[in-house]
């Protein structure tokens, strides 16, 4: 059995479809999903058919689907698409005397998306504080620009993602810092971007209670 067959939602194309279904409240047609996800129609149909077989989407008319439970969909996605498995991780600390990292990042041209507990705290401050976790395509380049040095403490984690979906629909703070979308942050907290999955509980509850604030 191929890896794709064993983990059908691990790839970037399936992830783009699933993130669209998570990030938006909508009655979906194939055309809408193709437009929103950027994934070819035949791939969208294949992903949707599999999701329907697992009762993660419901058909309301020919070609029209909805997501009955976004949290069930996210948890199923996380069985295949996991932070610790879908990113190359390196560990860093700031150089002595350097300005705060999250203040410096928006002043640089490096592509990034903050995830983990610090991103979650933007929506629910009661989230326990943990490591600083940042997606970026080239950790070595980012570390040089951001004045970081290798460290064994793992206080700063730079994650080079295997799939660009992690940057999709990132939010921007007032300072210009980019945060991964809430669904991506929750996914990451549940699959290795926090010391324990329960750290995700405050964000999970906030997302359940405030769907209009994070689902378009």
pLDDT at position 1 is 43
Determine the Cα–Cα distance for residues 116 and 134; give it in Å rounded to an integer.
8
Q: Answer with the residue of higher pLDDT: 65 or 154.
A: 65
Q: Write out the two tokens for 84.
A: 């610790």
Mean pLDDT, range 190-209, rounded to an integer: 96
Phi, psi torsion values for 36, nearest 5 degrees: -75, -40
- Other Cβ atoms less than 10 A from the Cβ of 157: the count is 22
pLDDT level of residue 4 (50, 70, 90 thresholds): low
pLDDT at position 35 is 97
* Helix, coil or strand: residue 63: coil
Place of tokens 């640089």: 108
- Other Cβ atoms less than 10 A from the Cβ of 124: the count is 17
Edge to edge, the sheet with strand 113-115 lists: 148-150, 87-94, 156-161, 132-135, 113-115, 178-179, 171-172
pLDDT at position 130 is 94
What residue ranges do the domains of the chain occupy?
Answer: 3-80, 87-214
In the CATH scheme, what architecture does the domain 3-80 have? Orthogonal Bundle (1.10)
């Amino acid at each position: 059995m191929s890896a794709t067959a064993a983990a059908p939602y691990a790839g970037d194309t399936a992830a783009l479809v699933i993130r669209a279904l998570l990030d938006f409240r909508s009655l979906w047609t194939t055309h809408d999903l193709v437009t929103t996800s950027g994934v070819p129609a035949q791939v969208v149909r294949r992903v949707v058919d599999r999701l329907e077989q697992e009762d993660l989407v419901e058909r309301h008319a020919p070609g029209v689907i909805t997501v009955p439970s976004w949290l069930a969909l996210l948890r199923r996605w996380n069985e295949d698409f996991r932070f610790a498995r879908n990113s190359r991780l390196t560990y860093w600390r700031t150089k002595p005397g350097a300005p705060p990292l999250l203040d410096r990042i928006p002043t640089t041209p490096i592509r990034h998306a903050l995830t983990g507990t610090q991103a979650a705290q933007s929506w629910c401050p009661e989230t326990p504080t943990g490591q600083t976790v940042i997606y970026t395509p080239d950790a070595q380049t980012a570390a040089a620009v951001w004045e970081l040095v290798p460290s064994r403490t793992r206080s700063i984690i730079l994650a080079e993602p295997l799939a660009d979906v992690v940057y999709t629909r990132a939010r921007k703070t007032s300072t210009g810092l980019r945060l991964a979308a809430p669904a991506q942050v929750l996914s990451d907290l549940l699959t290795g971007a926090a010391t324990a999955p329960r750290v995700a509980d405050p964000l999970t509850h906030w997302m359940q209670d405030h769907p209009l604030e994070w689902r378009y």
